[in-house]
């Protein structure tokens, strides 16, 4: 490595150490860079309000707002106690099945219901 690059590298490290010392001195909050995984967690490919990872948990199609084709979007059906995989009429969840699907969602993402205003 030539001397010029060594000098620039050294100066860069010195600046980084100074900035770190200042941050520690003033107790500044750490800045984190979101991971690619974090960016995709709340992705909603079909725009129905049901995140792609939850579509997988529920079994709905992440590329179709209305998986069962009954005219109601998947999240709207779930919020109102209807099965987004079965066309109306007759797609109202029985209590035990509705509790089970909500528990599967909660297990996958404990904050999901808050995020979507459930």
Q: What is the DSSP string of 38-71?
A: HHHHT--TT-SSS-HHHHHHHT--TT-SSTT-SS
Q: What is the pTM of this model?
A: 0.61
Closest to 64 in 3D by CA, of 89, 82, 85: 85
> For 65-116, what is each residue's pLDDT tens digit?
999 999 999 999 999 999 999 887 888 888 888 888 888 888 888 888 888 8
> For 9-49, what is each residue's pLDDT tens digit?
888 888 887 887 777 777 656 555 555 555 556 889 999 98
């Amino acid at each position: 490595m030539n001397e010029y690059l060594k000098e620039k590298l050294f100066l860069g490290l010195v600046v980084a150490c100074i900035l770190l010392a200042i941050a520690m001195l003033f107790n500044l909050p750490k800045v984190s860079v979101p991971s690619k995984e974090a960016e995709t967690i709340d992705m909603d490919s079909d725009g129905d309000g049901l995140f792609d990872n939850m579509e997988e948990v529920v079994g709905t199609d992440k590329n179709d707002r209305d998986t069962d084709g009954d005219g109601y979007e998947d999240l709207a059906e779930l919020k109102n106690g209807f099965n987004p995989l079965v066309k109306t009429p007759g797609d109202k969840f029985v209590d035990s099945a509705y509790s089970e699907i909500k528990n599967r969602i909660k297990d996958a993402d404990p904050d999901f219901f808050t995020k979507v205003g459930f």
